[in-house]
């Protein structure tokens, strides 16, 4: 079994059972916030001679499965890149299908999320989303707003550059209104102006399907995030693949620009 990031490949031990590995993982530091670029739905469908929308539907089932397992591992926040501001360029029928998925996903999964104490949030620009998509998201957020467990955030009609511009405008307006001095602007000022103000910064980013880029996703927030890239298409991404990513994270030396203890 192999895992890969930035071209580096490492062999995982095969003599441990999955449950033993889960137990070991939970005994060490689990990422507080995991962000996922869910890529490869169309490729998954093409390999099976299915329409692209079949891949998106299967990918929706994977979100449910991975949310459950992330909750089991003790992850506090899971953010999934569901639809970017650039995805409007896709065929109209595909976009319309994707926009119906939140209603189906939340309708089926909402009772379980309430039972599991999961809270639903969203980031992005909702104004352009269809009314039925906004309605289903609003209902799920309202129904789970008092939940205190894992926060499942959908990035819908989201683009990081637009988010940073909006945050900068918000800060500039505060300066213009005399509520903030230019010399008092800090990283925390920007953090609080972003759509993710209520979330911790991601500690682990996962991107599926073999692509090795950020695609305008959480550019500010990912400054010190550990990256994990896999060739697995999103519909095939399993609990074991998530566990591999967490194990990879746990094996890394996170120095945040500093040195290891004792290094000169």
In whole angstroms, what is the distance from residue 85 CA to residue 171 CA? Answer: 23
Q: Is 238 labeled as ligand-binding?
A: no
Q: Is 43 labeled as ligand-binding?
A: yes
Catalytic residue among 15, 49, 87, 157: 87
Catalytic residue among 39, 71, 157, 233: 39
Q: Is 64 labeled as ligand-binding?
A: no
Contact 232, 2 (CB under 8 A): no
Q: Is 5 labeled as ligand-binding?
A: no
Q: Is 204 labeled as ligand-binding?
A: no
Q: Is 68 labeled as ligand-binding?
A: no
Q: Is 149 labeled as ligand-binding?
A: no
Strand pairing of 204-207 and 33-37?
Answer: parallel
Judging by beta carbons within 10 Å of its beta carbon (0-12, 13-18, 19+), is residue 12 exposed, middle or buried? middle
9 three-state secondary structure: strand
Active site residue 147: no
Q: Is 52 labeled as ligand-binding?
A: yes
Q: Collect all residues with Cβ–Cβ distance below 8 Å to 129 and sequence separation of at least 6.
A: 99, 137, 156, 157
In whole angstroms, what is the distance from residue 146 CA to residue 150 CA? Answer: 12
In whole angstroms, what is the distance from residue 131 CA to residue 98 CA? Answer: 14
Q: Is 86 labeled as ligand-binding?
A: yes
Q: Is 117 labeled as ligand-binding?
A: no
Q: Give the residue carrying structure tokens 């093409």.
A: 46
Q: How far is CA 159 from CA 99, 164, 188, 207, 220, in A?
A: 17, 9, 20, 16, 12
197 three-state secondary structure: coil
Contact 162, 125 (CB under 8 A): yes
Active site residue 71: no
Q: Is 207 labeled as ligand-binding?
A: yes
* Neighbouring C-beta atoms of residue 198, cutoff 10 Å: 12
Tokens of 151: 């926060």
Q: Is 252 labeled as ligand-binding?
A: no
Q: Is 42 labeled as ligand-binding?
A: yes
Q: Is 226 labeled as ligand-binding?
A: yes
Q: Which residues are known binding-site members for substrate?
A: 40-44, 52, 56, 84-86, 88, 90, 207, 213-215
Q: Which residues are known binding-site members for Mg(2+)?
A: 39, 226
Q: Which residues are known binding-site members?
A: 39-44, 52, 56, 84-86, 88, 90, 207, 213-215, 226
Catalytic center residues: 39, 87
């Amino acid at each position: 079994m192999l895992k890969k990031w930035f071209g580096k490949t490492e062999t995982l031990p095969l003599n441990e059972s999955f449950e033993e590995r889960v137990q070991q993982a939970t005994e060490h530091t689990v990422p507080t916030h995991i962000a996922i670029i869910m890529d490869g739905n169309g490729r998954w469908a093409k390999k099976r001679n299915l329409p692209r929308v079949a891949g998106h539907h299967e990918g929706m089932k994977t979100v449910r499965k991975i949310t459950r397992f992330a909750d089991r591992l003790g992850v506090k926040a899971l953010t999934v890149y569901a639809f970017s501001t650039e995805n409007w360029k896709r065929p109209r029928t595909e976009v319309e299908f994707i926009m119906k998925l939140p209603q189906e996903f939340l309708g089926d999964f909402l009772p379980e999320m309430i039972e599991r104490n999961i809270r639903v949030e969203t980031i992005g620009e909702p104004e352009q989303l269809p009314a039925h998509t906004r309605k289903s998201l609003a209902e799920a957020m309202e129904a789970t707003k008092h939940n205190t467990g894992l926060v499942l955030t959908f990035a819908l009609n989201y683009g990081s550059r637009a988010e940073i511009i909006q945050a900068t405008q918000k800060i500039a307006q505060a300066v213009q209104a005399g509520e903030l001095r230019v010399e008092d602007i800090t990283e925390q000022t920007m953090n609080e102006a972003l759509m993710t103000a209520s979330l911790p910064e991601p500690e682990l980013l996962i991107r599926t399907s073999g692509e090795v880029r950020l695609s305008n996703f959480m550019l500010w927030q990912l400054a010190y995030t550990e990256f994990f890239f896999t060739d697995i298409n999103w519909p095939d991404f399993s609990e074991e693949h998530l566990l591999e990513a967490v194990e990879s994270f746990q094996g890394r030396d996170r120095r945040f620009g500093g040195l290891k203890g004792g290094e000169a």
